[in-house]
Structure 1
Amino acid sequence: MIPDIFRGLCDDAAVFPPGNAPLDHALRHHADHRGANYRDLVGPFVFPVPRLRELADSIRTAIMVSLIAPGGPETVGPALAFTRDNIHGASVTALEVVIPDSADLAPLLQIDCGIDVYVEIPRDERRLSVLDAAADAGWRAKLRTGGVTADAYPDEQELAASIHAAVARGVDFKATAGLHHAIRNTNPCNGFEQHGYLNVLLAAQAATAGAEPRDLENILALRDPDVVAEHILRITATRTFLSFGTCSILEPLNDLRALGLIEPIAQGVSS
């Protein structure tokens, strides 16, 4: 059984780096995950707008999709229309929209209220203004927590400031990239400092309870699994850190099992 605090925590981003799974493989495994006894951990299938025609050609069963729009707000309307007209098995439950320089946010205001809209928060001087727009419009935020290069990883100070600013505005958020493990760690292959998704969860909960950015920095820096797990078990409030994209659903599942935060359960799908 998946505890409430972890329900829907892991969005299936198997087709994105570093996994880069072939689409047919990713769709097959997503169906397996959604049918497994850990299904409550799994969120929607994350897919990029520029590849929608591939999805139309490959989809075989009904699926919940979170569409990523790297081209900005103006690409969202055509993407939704294409999906509606050509991908009948896909139910778009969320949009994740990159905000280019000087982007017009107005097209997002026309989105059906049944779809959750996430705007990717720029890592520059636009951060607060985009968060303000998200708060005003009732959107959610998407915070970048890593990537394929070292500079794609925000340090504790930057990420803590973003989490604090989002929570202060009442904006729930998800995270993307770099959260490969539950606990803060150093990647042994490339030396990158990687945030832990449980650290992010704890920081978000602390911010909701009134913690200051410096406190959040300390939480993001925690490396002791026992300490992090102990704090996780004390959480009773509703999550404000909603989910994160992961190339492998089984990696976070196994991390949570190893930490004793979920009961051992049969996986039912190969890695």
Structure 2
Amino acid sequence: MIPALFAGLCDDAAVFPPGLAPLPDAVAAHDVHEKSWYADLVGPLVLAAPALDALGDLLGARDTPLPVAVTLPGGPAQLPGVLDAAKVLPVDLRALEIAVPDELGVDEVLAAISAATAPVYVEIPRDDRRLPLLDALAGTGHRAKFRTGGVRADLYPSEAELAAAICAAIDAGVPFKATAGLHHALRNTDPETGFEQHGFLNLLLAAGDPDNAEAHLAERDGAAVAALVRNLDDGARGRFTSFGTCSISDPLTELAGLGLLPRGEA
């Protein structure tokens, strides 16, 4: 059984780096996840907008809609095409994750996403638009998306920067998700790249205790993190909704290793 604290925590981003699963394999694997004992841990399959073009033939006359979250890397200009495609595909559109082009101001972003028919996660830029955009999202029902890593070291925000972003979202009353670079439960140094990587449980603690967010993001002691996670209340997940992972098995295994989930069921 998956505890409520972890329900829907792991969005299935198998098609994105470093996993890069072919779309047919990702769909098949997601169907397996949906039927597994750990199904409640797994959120929708995350796909980039261009992948919708290939879904029609792949899904065919599917009986059960495929739960998807669609990323719009080109920004709100891609929204009409995504909404039109979702109407004719056997999918359950759970969320839209929309990037903010450099030239787009805060008011333009809000106006552009007003036509969305699913919850919108607005990817918050790492520039002076961050605070105004979070303030503008307050009370709209839209959510924030923070990038926490990537293929270069500079794409990983420091503990101080990420803590400030999390606290700003919480102060504005805007729930958030995170994506990229969250390959492990705990803060770590990647042995191949040397990148300092955030842990998804560290983010969960920061969301639950924003007054100590920076310290929680820096913690690497698994026993200490697990003990604090066990004492979190539901408010943490109301703030930190999910994170994208290209491997569902890795967080499942690490949560079990920390004693936060069962090790498996028949």
For Structure 1 versus Structure 2, the TM-score category normalised by the shorter chain is over 0.9
TM-superposed deviation, 1:232 = 0.3
2:114 corresponds to which of 94, 109, 114: 109
* Residue 43 (1) aligns with residue 48 (2): no
Q: Secondary structure of 2:223's match?
A: helix
TM-superposed deviation, 1:138 = 2.1
Q: 2: CA distance between counterparts of 1:52 and 1:119? A: 20
Change (3 A) 1:149 1:20: same
Preserved CA contact (<8 Å) 1:186 1:193: yes
Aligned residue runs from structure 1 range 72-151, under 5 A: 72-85=75-88, 87=89, 89-103=90-104, 104-105=108-109, 106-112=111-117, 115-151=118-154
TM-superposed deviation, 1:206 = 0.5
For normalisation by structure 1, the TM-score amounts to: 0.92
Preserved CA contact (<8 Å) 1:145 1:154: yes
For the aligned residues, what is the CA RMSD?
A: 1.2
* Mean Cα deviation higher: 74-83 or 170-179: 74-83
Deviations 1:200-256 (A, max 9, x none): 00001102xxx1xxx211110000000000000001233111100000000000000
2:199 corresponds to which of 193, 196, 214: 196
Q: 2: CA distance between counterparts of 1:130 and 1:12? A: 27
Match of 2:218 in 1: 221
Preserved CA contact (<8 Å) 2:208 2:233: no
Preserved CA contact (<8 Å) 2:9 2:41: yes
TM-superposed deviation, 1:168 = 0.4
Q: What 5-or-longer segments of structure 1 have no aligned partner?
A: none
Q: 1: CA distance between counterparts of 2:152 and 2:55? A: 28
Preserved CA contact (<8 Å) 1:77 1:107: no
Comparing both chains, which one has the higher relative contact order based on Cα–Cα distances under 8 Å and sequence gaps of 6 or more?
1
Q: 2: CA distance between counterparts of 1:59 and 1:164? A: 41
* Residue 265 (1) aligns with residue 245 (2): no
Q: Which amino acid aligns with 1:94?
A: A
Q: What 5-or-longer segments of structure 2 have no aligned partner?
A: none
Preserved CA contact (<8 Å) 1:69 1:96: yes
Deviations 1:116-144 (A, max 9, x none): 11000001111111112211422100000
TM-superposed deviation, 1:187 = 0.3
Q: Secondary structure of 1:19's match?
A: coil
Preserved CA contact (<8 Å) 1:47 1:67: yes
For normalisation by structure 2, the TM-score amounts to: 0.94
Q: Show structure 1 runs of 4+ deviating over 6 A.
A: none
Q: Secondary structure of 1:137's match?
A: coil
Preserved CA contact (<8 Å) 1:109 1:137: no
- Give % identity: 51
Deviations 1:148-184 (A, max 9, x none): 1111111101100000000000000000011100010
Match of 1:235 in 2: 232
Aligned residue runs from structure 1 range 17-56, under 5 A: 17-56=17-56
